[in-house]
Structure 1
Amino acid sequence: MKDLKAASDLFQANKRRLFQKSLAISFIFLTMIAFVVIYILWGDRAIDFFSDPLNVRNLVARHPLASRLL
């Protein structure tokens, strides 16, 4: 019975690690897709906007949630 419990614990740990890895890869993939969509929609204007620190500070000051996304 102990072997079954140990195997079950190992399986759960591997399952949890796989979930965390897939979640991290999904987040990175969605972030990359978001930047591609932003570039397609706004082009060089978006790059110019985000490369100016003053614009980014003003954006974060107006929208506090933006600080979590940037």
Structure 2
Amino acid sequence: MNTNKNMEFWGIKNMRFCPICGSPNIDWVLPQDWSRWKCKECGYIGTLIVEDGKIADEIRKEYLKKHVNKK
């Protein structure tokens, strides 16, 4: 999955990604609390997010390498 190419194709520039697993499946913990994010894939909760698709791709590759090989 090349997130950056998908972003270019769809014209999406303001995507946010989980800093732990690189998933775009991330949302606010509470809509009123815009500073805390939760990843629906790995369960990360925190204030840090990634907005660069290239970095998210690298994070995603490393995360999948570590977690897919363990199963």
TM over 0.5: no
Q: Whose radius of gyration is greater, 1 or 2? A: 1
TM-score, normalised relative to structure 1: 0.28
More helix by share: 1
More strand by share: 2
